[in-house]
C-alpha cells in the first residue's frame, strides 16, 4: 500500500530550536544540547482522514553558509514551518526574507505556512510579543503558535486530522497547526 506523503520544510535562523521542536514532535524526546544542523530528514506516520500517511520533515540549517541550499529545499516542500525564537527579535525579523524566498521559488502568492515562536518556557527574556507575531500571521494569512520543545508546550506526538475537525487535543497547537497545513497541502 502506497502511503500519501506530505513534505514539510522547517526554516528559521540558527539556534531558534528547529531541531529541538522537530525531534520532540517526531520522537517525543527533548534535545538539550545545541548542535547546528546542516540537514536532517525525518519521517513520521500520521493519520489523515483515517488513512495512514507519511509526514516527511526536512530540518534545515539556520546558518547563512547554507542559505544557498534553501531554494532546493523550498522547491521540494509542500508546506513550511517558519520558526523563530521568542527570545531573539532578529530571528523574527529574519523570517520575512525567508517567506519572500519561499513565494519566489514556489512562484506563488501564498503557500501552506505556519509561524512558530519557540522557547515559550523562558518568560523573562522575551523579545517578541504574542501580539506582534499574531499581526504578522494575520498579514501572511497563516496560523501562529508559541511552543516550547523543552516543556512540550503546544507540541504533540501524533497529529491526526479529518476535514475541518482535528482529532487531537486543542491545546497541542503545534500539531493542530500541522494538521491545518496538511489540509492545505491536500488540495
State how beta strands 51-60 and 4-11 pair.
parallel
User: pLDDT tens digits, residue range 28-42?
Assistant: 777 777 555 556 777
CATH code for the domain of 151? 3.40.50.300
Say how far apart CA 143 and CA 112 lie, in whole Å. Answer: 10
165 has pLDDT over 50: no
Q: The whole model's pTM is what?
A: 0.77
Residue with cell 503558535: 145
**pLDDT at residue 68, rounded to an integer:** 64
Instruction: Choose among 87, 78, 98, 64: nearest CA to 178.
Output: 78
User: pLDDT tens digits, residue range 79-99?
Assistant: 888 999 999 999 999 999 999
| Strand boundaries in 66-178, DSSP class E | 79-85, 113-118, 144-147, 160-162, 165-166
135 has pLDDT over 50: yes
Identify the domain containing residue 90 by its residue range: 4-186
Say how far apart CA 108 and CA 89 lie, in whole Å. Answer: 27
- Per the structure, the count of domains in the chain is 1
Higher pLDDT, 53 or 170: 53
**pLDDT at residue 112, rounded to an integer:** 85
How remote is the C-alpha of 68 from its chain's centroid? 20
| DSSP-derived 3-state class of residue 85 | strand
Task: Pick the range with the lowest mean pLDDT from 42-46, 89-93, 123-127, 138-142.
Answer: 42-46
| Summary mean pLDDT of the chain | 76
Residue with cell 523574527: 92
Strand partners, 42: 57
Instruction: Choose among 8, 10, 28: nearest CA to 18.
Output: 10
63 has pLDDT over 60: no
> Do residues 89 and 18 lie in contact, with contact meaning Cβ atoms separated by under 8 Å?
no
Residue with cell 531554494: 71
Amino acid at each position: 500500500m502506497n502511503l500519501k506523503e506530505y513534505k514539510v520544510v522547517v526554516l528559521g535562523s540558527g539556534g531558534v530550536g528547529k531541531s529541538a521542536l522537530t525531534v520532540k514532535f517526531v520522537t517525543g524526546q527533548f534535545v538539550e544540547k545545541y548542535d547546528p544542523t546542516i540537514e536532517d530528514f525525518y519521517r513520521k506516520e500520521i493519520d489523515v482522514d483515517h488513512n495512514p500517511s507519511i509526514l516527511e520533515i526536512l530540518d534545515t540549517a539556520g546558518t547563512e553558509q547554507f542559505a544557498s541550499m534553501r531554494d532546493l529545499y523550498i522547491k521540494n516542500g509542500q508546506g513550511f514551518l517558519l520558526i523563530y525564537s521568542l527570545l531573539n527579535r532578529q530571528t523574527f525579523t529574519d523570517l520575512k526574507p525567508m517567506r519572500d524566498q519561499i513565494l519566489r521559488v514556489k512562484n506563488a502568492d501564498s503557500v501552506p505556512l505556519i509561524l512558530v515562536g519557540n522557547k515559550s518556557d523562558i518568560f523573562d527574556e522575551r523579545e517578541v510579543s504574542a501580539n506582534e507575531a499574531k499581526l504578522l500571521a494575520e498579514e501572511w494569512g497563516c496560523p501562529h503558535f508559541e511552543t516550547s520543545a523543552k516543556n512540550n508546550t503546544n507540541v504533540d506526538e501524533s497529529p491526526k486530522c479529518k476535514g475541518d475537525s482535528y482529532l487531537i487535543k486543542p491545546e497541542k497547537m503545534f500539531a493542530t497547526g500541522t494538521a491545518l497545513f496538511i489540509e492545505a497541502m491536500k488540495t
